[in-house]
Structure 1
Amino acid sequence: MERLMIVVPAYNEEEALPKTLDILGELVERLIKQKIIDIQSKVVVVNDGSSDNTWTVIEKFNKTNNVITGVNLSRNFGHQSAIIAGLSATLNFGDVFITIDADLQDDVGAIIEMLEAHAKGFDIVYGARNNRDTDTAFKKKSASAFYKIMKKIGVQMIPQVADYRLMSKRSVEHLLTYKEKNLFLRGIVPTIGFPSTTVYYARKEREVGTTKYPLRKMLSFAWEGITSFSVAPMQFVLAMGLVTILVSLFMLAYTVWEYISGETIAGWSSLMVSIWFIGGVQLIGLYVIGEYVGKVFNEVKGRPRFIIQDNLLKNNLDKK
């Protein structure tokens, strides 16, 4: 039997965690009793520098439930880094790994299907939504547009898949060799290339707490994904530059024609329009180039993607 490690990134989830840990703890205990997974399987909650009592809740459950344990990061490093931190901390203790968010909007029942698919030889099993009924119309359209854009620029992504997935030990080992700080795991994991499949489930509404991905963060995350995997935005700026040149040549010809016709007007408004248009293109171009330079700047510094302050998993196993 294999040791299952369920990695749960959590940021300010003190309201949701008690119910989440009860459900996940009961599931792991049931799977252990059914001899589907090893007795040393764990639910590992990664506290991503929460400002509330998330870590206190984790410590409390750890004292009363042998299945529940946790990792405490020194500060907030972000959702994707928290997942990597959890996988890194559990790598030497587990054989198969599942990542799932603390709000439990993802159906935990799919974990059993994931394990069944893994038993058939799949190294990576993605959890995909079978519908987006719980989303607003705007979120449905924006998500669809995002997947289309990512596909268009050549990024391998599984539609309707977030960070709910199962990974074998060897796939996690290879994932951890990806050292970039600009993490977009939904795009990185498919590049590993091991046998994979997908299980589908119905996503639920969040029962308690508030979402940690408002519109601003969602847009930022989407931009991170695009710029981390493609230079398409820079190519788009090039296209805009070429279009601008063509427009300016047309305007030049038009201006000459107006001059010959004797119909030019002092302070012609099109001059200002052209200046503002070209200035806008230049600013957009500088921003896009700066975005990539900034990413290179962050990467070459080589700073750690996370810092673990407390590791209850290691402490618990060391005591044994």
Structure 2
Amino acid sequence: MEREKNQILYLVIPCYNEQEVLPETSRRLKEKMESLMDRNMISRDSKIMFVNDGSKDRTWEMIEELHDQDPLYQGVKLSRNRGHQNALLGGLMTAKEYADMVISLDADLQDDIDVIDQFVEKYYEGCDIVYGVRSARTTDTFFKRFTAEGFYKIINLMGGEVVFNHADYRLMSKRALNELANYKEVNLFLRGIVPMIGFKTDVVTYERHERLAGESKYPLKKMLALAVDGITSLSIKPIRFIVFLGFMIFMCSILMLIYSLVQHFLGNTSIGWTSLIVSIWAIGGLQLLAIGVIGEYIGKIYLETKERPRYIIEKVLR
């Protein structure tokens, strides 16, 4: 079902030490928003919301300056650094109170902002979630391309439902954001949670650009941490793998027992060797099996019971 046009759009941009890119980013985003407003695609009440994730440079001061110069810019300041996913969620939950639709993107503008028009058009066509998907990874090194594509395949293999080559460049309607608010897990991985929401979805493809300035905030260490968070927050298959491994080792102990008995009857055994080897394999396998079974329950409890605040908002510029 198509929607009426001229609705309120918020852009939510998490920022961590982005003082080098903010001037150019804010200028380009303002031009894009004014272009959409002039064509009556979005309301004049639409905003650009920067979320400061505990930056150590002048990022927050620059956001305050932008807000003072133009009410188009708004700011959310977290009390401390909580990581990209939590900062993004904090911005989304703040923006959903005022916007009809929200688009999340990174401050470095590697994601092509010219496709924002397509996001909005698909929203008016009735989509509640629109994913920005990279059409190719030609700007990546071979190592990054190999590891990134492997990450998406492993996530899906482990039981997680993620959109291939999609990061956090997406549009979500107010209805979708209200449903996202019902997901309370602390181990946050939005790329896997958002597809769980359902509703009508679509995809917009784009080419990713080079970073405007500064260095990437996602070095290999953080990428690996994100991968671990993604797998553990979406699936308990790693724990089940431990159970499977324990079972296989236990079966090996049975085979070793049979082998030892055969060797015994053939007269090719050493005294004490059979009992020692069988004991080591059997106990080791049973220990892994027990740890896996206990871990199955602990993993589920871990995901459900912590209930720590995922972020704390110190200040909102409106």
Q: Same fold (TM over 0.5)?
A: yes
1:203 alignment counterpart:
208
Corresponding position: 1:227 with 2:232:
yes
The aligned amino acid for 1:102 is A
1:263-282 CA distance string (max 9 Å, x none): 445897xx789959975995
Kindly state the Cα deviation for residue 164 of structure 1 after the two structures are TM-superposed.
Answer: 0.3
Determine which of 132, 145, 166 is the counterpart of 1:161. 166
Is contact 2:134–2:207 with CA below 8 Å preserved after alignment? yes
Change (3 A) 1:285 1:159: farther
1:9 alignment counterpart:
14
Q: Within 5 A, what are the aligned runs for 1:54-203? A: 54-203=59-208
Q: Please state whether the residue corresponding to 1:249 is helix, strand or coil.
A: helix
Matched residues, number = 313
Q: What are structure 2's unaligned runs of at least 5 residues?
A: 1-5
Corresponding position: 1:26 with 2:5:
no
The aligned amino acid for 2:29 is L
1:203-243 CA distance string (max 9 Å, x none): 12223111121222212211211121222112211111121
**In structure 2, distance between residues paired with 1:289 and 1:101:** 40
Kindly state the Cα deviation for residue 141 of structure 1 after the two structures are TM-superposed.
Answer: 2.2
**In structure 1, distance between residues paired with 2:312 and 2:20:** 25
The aligned amino acid for 1:78 is G
**In structure 1, distance between residues paired with 2:225 and 2:40:** 43
Kindly state the Cα deviation for residue 103 of structure 1 after the two structures are TM-superposed.
Answer: 1.4
Change (3 A) 1:283 1:208: farther
Change (3 A) 1:280 1:310: farther
Change (3 A) 1:241 1:28: same
1:318 alignment counterpart:
none
Q: What are structure 1's unaligned runs of at least 5 residues?
A: 314-320
Is contact 1:106–1:203 with CA below 8 Å preserved after alignment? yes
Change (3 A) 1:17 1:283: farther
Q: Please state whether the residue corresponding to 1:109 is helix, strand or coil.
A: helix
Change (3 A) 1:131 1:266: farther
The aligned amino acid for 1:146 is F
User: Does 23-32 or 1-10 show the bigger shift?
Assistant: 23-32
Is contact 1:28–1:67 with CA below 8 Å preserved after alignment? no
**In structure 1, distance between residues paired with 2:292 and 2:216:** 29
Change (3 A) 1:225 1:282: farther
1:69-126 CA distance string (max 9 Å, x none): 1100000111111111111111221111000011111101111111111111111111
Kindly state the Cα deviation for residue 254 of structure 1 after the two structures are TM-superposed.
Answer: 2.4
1:248-268 CA distance string (max 9 Å, x none): 122222233334444445897
**In structure 2, distance between residues paired with 1:296 and 1:227:** 13
Change (3 A) 1:294 1:231: closer
Is contact 2:51–2:87 with CA below 8 Å preserved after alignment? yes
Is contact 1:234–1:285 with CA below 8 Å preserved after alignment? no
Tell me the percent identity. 48
2:307 alignment counterpart:
302
Determine which of 46, 65, 74 is the counterpart of 2:51. 46
Is contact 2:247–2:286 with CA below 8 Å preserved after alignment? no
2:3 alignment counterpart:
none
**In structure 2, distance between residues paired with 1:56 and 1:200:** 34
**In structure 1, distance between residues paired with 2:252 and 2:62:** 62
